[in-house]
């Protein structure tokens, strides 16, 4: 088992590394408006979209107009999705005659999918019509991912341009992200998943009779198309309630591997795109290396903890065998489950193929800590890149203070305005991840949602709001989030975690674009070598550790120490 798992990790990481340059170079061509392999096929479609929507492809926007366009576009999507969820009983493609969502649940779901969070307080196959799944959720899986990619590219342009007043056009970037990148990849992904046995139909649910004589309802539907984009767009919202642990969503070990690869494919390639667009690919590889160090470290801790299992079982004579298999699919095992948990929380992807609530305390700490860092270890599509660049600015500023020089990155000075904007973005995460759980731990309307006592119960609450604020969407599984209070508060946390970070980063893009590029001198601190990679990783750990260590100490760390002392929760 150990050899198989190690081989799985090596193949996965090798493929991710190999695919990064090819896709990253293609995306740089797309966003640069260059001719590429899909231009002759989809170019006419792009021009038709611009004419129909009256988009001037040559009209660039300042960061303020770019931000306004993004907010208006997403607000319209929020209203339309909310209306669809509330009115689905009157609309077609509802063969099971599902009733509308309640107002609080519809609000939570609409905010969740518009913010690329895909937190689900409902069971998809028992709540949503085919129309709601396709026109509502799947559409948002595309456009919310495209929004994140557009923001990242706007920030990259801020570093790449000199003395510019604009950072691109939000609508053009969104169209190109969807048409040339997400749609082709999702089509290929859907075909691969359908080949592996994932349903793609409009059939009525099937009634089956088990060997025991019981009746079982087997849900059908257009699942493969939604699952492909939910992984490629780092969305994560499942067609079925059990998400990627469901045999229809994830039927084979090969489908599990492919879906896990889909999750980090675009985020990893975007880092290479960054290097191409700033005309220094070494800068992109430096960020990729920092992300890889954090990824491998988190995977190693999670896998070791899950493979070791619970020592309390050994104490009573139970052979831990292949590790902690509670809450895991036998067909995936500890290795594939640990890889999935690490990859999905490195990205803003809420899909799960094992229940994190059943992980060991340290195994559950890894996904929690990944999200607390802002999911910048490759991260969500776009969100991971602009989240990492936020930390880059802080790291460069600290390096400048250490050597007594004005900090620079890619030839541009990092000044007080950029640092203040980055700190404003950083302060949003503790608001949602610490303050909201603190309120939830004392208010009776919230404490009733917590299933377990002690530090594990705190971890459930902490995980829920961390997942919402980080726009991840995964859950600890022991937390009842479908209450009016939790639906409202989690929705607010998702909104803050998405847009209150995006706005400062767009302001940084505008500020950097207006600056001149300074020539490299002997005193310029290099930001493409191992020293900077180590500094960047250290800054990420220090900022994340100092902010969230007290909460982690009261939750998973306390539970781990209690487990070693012979107590479980």
pTM: 0.94
Q: Supply the DSSP symbol for 408.
A: E
Dihedral angle, C-alpha 536, 542, 543, 546, nearest 10 °: 180
3-state SS, residue 262 = helix
The domain in which residue 106 lies consists of 19-208+215-279
Q: Is the pLDDT of residue 504 over 80?
A: yes
Of 457, 453, 432, nearest to 547 by C-alpha is: 432
In a domain, 543, yes or no: no
Terminal CA-CA length for the chain: 29
Task: Give pLDDT tens digits for 149-196.
Answer: 999 999 999 999 998 999 999 999 999 999 999 999 999 999 999 999
Percent of the chain with pLDDT over 70: 98
Q: Supply the DSSP symbol for 93.
A: S
In a domain, 287, yes or no: no
Task: Give pLDDT tens digits for 89-115.
Answer: 999 988 888 999 999 999 999 999 999
pLDDT value, residue 194: 94
Give the pLDDT band of residue 2 (cuts 50, 70, 90). Answer: confident
Q: Are 455 and 569 in contact (CB under 8 A)?
A: yes
Q: Which residues of 265-286 are buried (b: 16+ CB within 10 A; e: fewer)?
A: bbbbbbbbbbbbbbebbebbbb
Task: Give pLDDT tens digits for 302-343.
Answer: 999 999 988 877 766 666 666 888 889 888 999 999 999 999
> 157, exposed or middle or buried, with CB in 10 Å at 0-12, 13-18, 19+?
buried
Residue 133: Cβ within 10 Å count: 22
Give the pLDDT band of residue 556 (cuts 50, 70, 90). Answer: very high
Q: Are 536 and 396 in contact (CB under 8 A)?
A: no
Residue 567: Cβ within 10 Å count: 11
Long-range contacts of 511-514 (CB under 8 A, 24+ apart): 511/63, 511/158, 511/417, 511/418, 511/421, 512/155, 512/158, 512/159, 512/412, 512/418, 513/63, 513/157, 513/158, 513/161, 513/164, 513/165, 513/166, 513/167, 514/163, 514/164, 514/165
> CA-CA distance, 51 to 171, in Å (whole number)?
12
In a domain, 497, yes or no: no
> CA-CA distance, 224 to 238, in Å (whole number)?
11
Average pLDDT over residues 289-306: 96
Q: Is the pLDDT of residue 131 over 70?
A: yes
Which range, of 104-113, 200-209, 281-290, 400-409, averages the lowest pLDDT? 400-409
Q: Supply the DSSP symbol for 562.
A: H
Residue showing tokens 């065998």: 321
> CA-CA distance, 474 to 487, in Å (whole number)?
15
Triad 342, 343, 346: Cα angle to 5°: 85
In a domain, 34, yes or no: yes
Q: Which residues of 323-334 are buried (b: 16+ CB within 10 A; e: fewer)?
A: bbbeebbeebbb
Of 141, 163, 151, nearest to 66 by C-alpha is: 151
> CA-CA distance, 19 to 231, in Å (whole number)?
16
In a domain, 350, yes or no: no
Residues 6+ positions from 527 with CB-CB distance below 8 Å: 283, 286, 392, 396, 409, 410
Q: Are 471 and 375 in contact (CB under 8 A)?
A: yes
pLDDT value, residue 321: 64
Task: Give pLDDT tens digits for 527-539.
Answer: 999 999 999 999 9
Beta-bridge partners for 218: 206
pLDDT value, residue 311: 83
Of 13, 15, 22, nearest to 276 by C-alpha is: 22
Tokens of 24: 């990253």
> CA-CA distance, 34 to 12, in Å (whole number)?
31
pLDDT value, residue 547: 87
Residue 320: Cβ within 10 Å count: 14
Which range, of 11-20, 27-36, 435-444, 542-551, averages the lowest pLDDT? 542-551
pLDDT value, residue 283: 95
Give the pLDDT band of residue 401 (cuts 50, 70, 90). Answer: confident
In a domain, 31, yes or no: yes
pLDDT value, residue 19: 97
In a domain, 26, yes or no: yes
Output the DSSP codes for 538-552. HHHHHHHHHHHHHHH
3-state SS, residue 216 = strand
Q: Is the pLDDT of residue 1 over 70?
A: no
More confident residue, 310 or 24: 24
pLDDT value, residue 29: 97
Q: Beta strand pairing status for 215-218 and 206-209?
A: antiparallel
Q: Beta strand pairing status for 408-409 and 412-413?
A: antiparallel
pLDDT value, residue 320: 61
pLDDT value, residue 124: 81
Q: State how far the alpha carbon of 205 is from the alpha carbons of 97, 209, 514, in Å.
A: 12, 13, 57
pLDDT value, residue 316: 65
Taking all residues of the chain, what is their mean pLDDT, rounded to a whole number? 92
In a domain, 477, yes or no: no
How many structural domains is the chain composed of? 1
């Amino acid at each position: 088992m150990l050899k198989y798992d190690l081989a799985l990790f090596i193949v996965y990481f090798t493929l991710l590394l190999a695919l990064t340059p090819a896709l990253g170079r293609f995306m740089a061509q797309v966003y640069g408006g260059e001719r590429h392999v899909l231009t002759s096929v989809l170019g006419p479609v792009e021009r038709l979209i611009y004419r129909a929507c009256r988009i001037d492809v040559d009209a660039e926007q300042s960061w303020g107009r770019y931000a306004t366009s993004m907010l208006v576009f997403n607000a319209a999507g929020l209203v339309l999705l909310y209306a669809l969820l509330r009115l689905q009983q009157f609309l077609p493609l509802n063969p099971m005659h599902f009733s509308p969502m309640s107002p609080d649940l519809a609000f939570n779901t609409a905010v969740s999918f518009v913010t690329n969070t895909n937190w689900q307080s409902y069971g998809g196959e028992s709540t949503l019509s085919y129309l709601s799944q396709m026109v509502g959720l799947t559409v948002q899986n595309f456009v919310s991912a495209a929004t994140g990619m557009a923001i990242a590219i706007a920030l990259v342009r801020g570093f790449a341009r000199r003395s510019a007043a604009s950072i691109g056009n939000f609508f053009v970037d969104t169209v190109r992200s969807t048409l040339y990148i997400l749609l082709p990849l999702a089509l290929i992904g859907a075909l691969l998943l359908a080949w592996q046995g994932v349903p793609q139909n409009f059939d009525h649910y099937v009634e089956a009779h088990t060997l025991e004589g019981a009746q079982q309802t087997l849900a059908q539907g257009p699942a493969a198309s939604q699952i492909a984009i939910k992984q490629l767009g780092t969305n994560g919202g499942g067609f079925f309630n059990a998400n990627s642990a469901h045999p229809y969503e994830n039927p084979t070990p090969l489908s599990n591997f492919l879906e896990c690869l889909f999750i980090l494919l675009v985020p990893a390639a975007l880092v290479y795109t960054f290097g191409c667009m700033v005309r220094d690919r070494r800068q992109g590889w430096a960020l990729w290396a920092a992300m890889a160090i954090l990824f491998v470290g988190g995977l190693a801790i999670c896998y070791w903890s899950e493979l070791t299992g619970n020592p309390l079982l050994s104490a009573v004579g139970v052979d831990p065998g292949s590790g902690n298999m509670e809450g895991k699919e036998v067909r995936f095992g500890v290795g594939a489950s640990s890889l999935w948990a690490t990859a999905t929380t490195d990205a803003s992807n809420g899909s799960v193929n094992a229940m994190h609530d059943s992980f060991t305390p340290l195994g559950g700490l890894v996904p929690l800590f990944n999200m607390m860092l802002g999911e910048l270890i490759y991260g969500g599509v776009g969100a991971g890149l602009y989240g990492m660049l936020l930390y880059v600015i802080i790291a460069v500023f600290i390096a400048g203070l250490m050597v007594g020089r004005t900090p620079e990155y890619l030839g541009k000075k990092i000044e007080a305005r950029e640092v203040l904007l980055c700190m404003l973005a950083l302060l949003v995460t503790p608001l949602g991840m610490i303050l909201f759980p603190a309120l939830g731990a004392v208010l009776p309307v919230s404490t009733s949602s917590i299933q377990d006592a002690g530090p594990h119960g705190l971890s459930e609450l902490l995980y829920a709001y961390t997942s919402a604020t980080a726009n991840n969407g995964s859950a600890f599984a022991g937390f009842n989030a479908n209450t009016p209070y939790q639906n409202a508060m989690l929705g607010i946390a998702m909104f803050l975690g998405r847009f209150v970070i995006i706005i400062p980063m767009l302001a940084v893009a505008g500020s950097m674009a207006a600056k001149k590029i300074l020539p490299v001198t002997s005193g310029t601190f290099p930001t493409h070598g191992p020293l900077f990679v180590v500094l960047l990783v250290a800054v990420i750990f220090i900022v994340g550790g100092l902010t969230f260590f007290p909460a982690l100490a009261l939750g998973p760390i306390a539970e781990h120490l209690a487990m070693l002392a012979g107590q479980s929760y």
